[in-house]
Amino acid sequence: MTRPYVASRADEVLHRRSFDVLVLGGGIAGMTAAIGAARRWRVGLLTQSTLEETTTFLAQGGIAAAIGEGDSPGLHFEDTLKAGAGLCDEEAVRVLVNEGPDRVRELMEICPRFDKVDGQIVLGREGAHSLPRIVHAGGDATGSEVTSALAEAARLGSRVQLYEDEFVIDLLTLEGRCMGALTLNLADGGLTLNVAMVTVLATGGAGQVYGRTTNPAVATGDGVAMAYRAGAAVRDLEFVQFHPTGLAVPGQKTVQLITEALRGEGAYLRNAAGERFMTAHDPRGELASRDIVVRAMVAEMRREGTDHVFLDATHLDAGWLQQRFPSVTAGLREHGLDLATQLIPVAPVCHYFIGGVVTDVWGRTTVPGLYASGEVASTGVHGANRLASNSLLEGLVFSDRVVRDVDRYIGRLGEDVRRLSFDIPEAVMRGRSSDAGEARRRLTGIMQSEVGVLRRREDLQKALVELGELTSEIRFDVMGEAEYQVLNMLTLGTQIAKCALLREESRGVHLRDDFPDVDDERWRRHITLRLPEHERSEGVGEVRRRG
């Protein structure tokens, strides 16, 4: 489906805003970039919903950094590489672990509620970390605490212009260079040209492409899809991380995550017979890397013919559990479950999108003027399997580097892009319109059942056929948030399935039932995609210079 996202308008007025730096996304990566860039430049921060409706805000886990006694960036480096199953970019990992401690200390100055005992920061342990190095705020509410602190800093202590409820339709490009983005205001339906010398993509992940996910409703992969259409290289799309412990009860719109920190504090995984099984799969037991835990869980579920296993924290002190994990215990209580007295049904759930828009260690994509940071980016730090609590750290570290490079980039620009004019074609009625909600349910069902945690050639081939049929059937007369999201999800879902079919091995979070082993000889490499030049969408219509 070539250029399926060309925006159209009827008679409404096309609004216009101009910035030096345009940041798309309100999570930790976007706010870090916006606050940093605003020290020197006019910055606009656009977010699809509110700052509370981000993956960062929902994050229960903490932030990993080598700040404890006996720890070092070298140890963090080795843990990250080992978890990444042979595909980490070592230069990017060195940047992450060496600059991470300073970025975390700076964040602690903005966010004072990091957990301490007697004035000393508390360090937790999570899977595949060789020693405790995870900092938390508010127990299992790190994401909301960090988001609130950064939001306050953005609103009160900087020159960031914040726009909520703005859906980004497409990136504006001219002669291969990014000039900003076209957005849809979700309150009044108006279209706005946001023109900028630099655009920072920080739109988060894509968990909503699957039927069961811990991600918020806005995580529909829009950033990766729009960057792909604009000609940016994307990479590693087959590596979708399924978190081992998603709550396995029906009726959840967004699946409740049972934080990995629980296993770090001593909770066990048990099968239907009540037996601990992880020690038979890995000497680290429940603290093995996420891909190994997921493999073991899938093996137990297949052997027993069940769709879940159990998390057991009943041997831990009830009062301490309530104090340490208030969000988890409150969420479970809503489902009639008690962490202190009951085994909790859990199953792998789509959680984190490792692939994304290819960047270098300064956040630069393959499209000049376009940077990317956070989950939307593929920096190479996660390889084939993200190490627990490296995600928020990645947003902090690489957004800081983006800001430093943006200062250099804008200083070299010889043209004021704010003088450019962009035209959008008129809407053309096409007849009967498809139902976006039904199309989305079909799409997420296909991805969940055929491109899920355990993959096979015949399932992936079937998925590509079904996704192709859905793509060819869709006709939208009126374009709104739901319709754009479905088109973005179709683009991304198709590419995920395609890459998963190509990689004929099991590595990290990519598990193939028909190719169960790692194949370093053929597949210790990345799959990178880029839309052919003749198919790339130049912005959203005719682009011409003004004046």
Report, as residue numbers or ranges, the catalytic residues. 290
Single-letter amino acid code for the residue at 57: F
Query: Residue 449 corresponds to which tokens in the numbers above?
Result: 């059942």
Instruction: Tell me, rounded to whole angstroms, the distance of Cα 39 from its chain centroid.
Output: 27
> CB 337: neighbour CB atoms within 10 A?
17
CA–CA separation, 532 and 181 (whole Å): 21
> CB 3: neighbour CB atoms within 10 A?
12
Single-letter amino acid code for the residue at 247: L
> CB 542: neighbour CB atoms within 10 A?
11
Report which DSSP code applies to 182: E
Half-sphere exposure of 442 (CA within 13 A, CB side): 20
In total, the chain counts a number of residues equal to 547
> CB 11: neighbour CB atoms within 10 A?
6
Contact 143, 113 (CB under 8 A): no
Query: Residue 433 corresponds to which tokens in the numbers above?
Result: 């319109």
Return the bridge partners of 133, or none: none
Pairing state of beta strands 191-201 and 177-185? Answer: antiparallel
CA–CA separation, 160 and 21 (whole Å): 10
- Three-state secondary structure string covering 281-343: CCCCHHHCCHHHHHHHHHHHHHHHCCCCEEEECCCCCHHHHHHHCHHHHHHHHCCCCCCCCCC
| 294 contact partners, CB below 8 Å, separation of at least 6 | 242, 244, 348, 453, 509, 511
Query: Residue 234 corresponds to which tokens in the numbers above?
Result: 């994307």
- Angle, helices 481-502/436-450, rounded to nearest 10 degrees: 20
Query: Residue 173 corresponds to which tokens in the numbers above?
Result: 């490009």
Contact 329, 322 (CB under 8 A): yes
CA–CA separation, 28 and 51 (whole Å): 10
Torsion of CA 234, 240, 241, 245, to 10 degrees: 150
Element (H, E) at 140: none
Q: Is 333 left (phi over 0), alpha (psi -120 to 50) or beta?
A: alpha
- Helix, strand, coil content of the chain in percent (nearest 5): 35, 20, 45
| 153 contact partners, CB below 8 Å, separation of at least 6 | 31, 35, 110
Torsion of CA 351, 352, 355, 358, to 10 degrees: 150
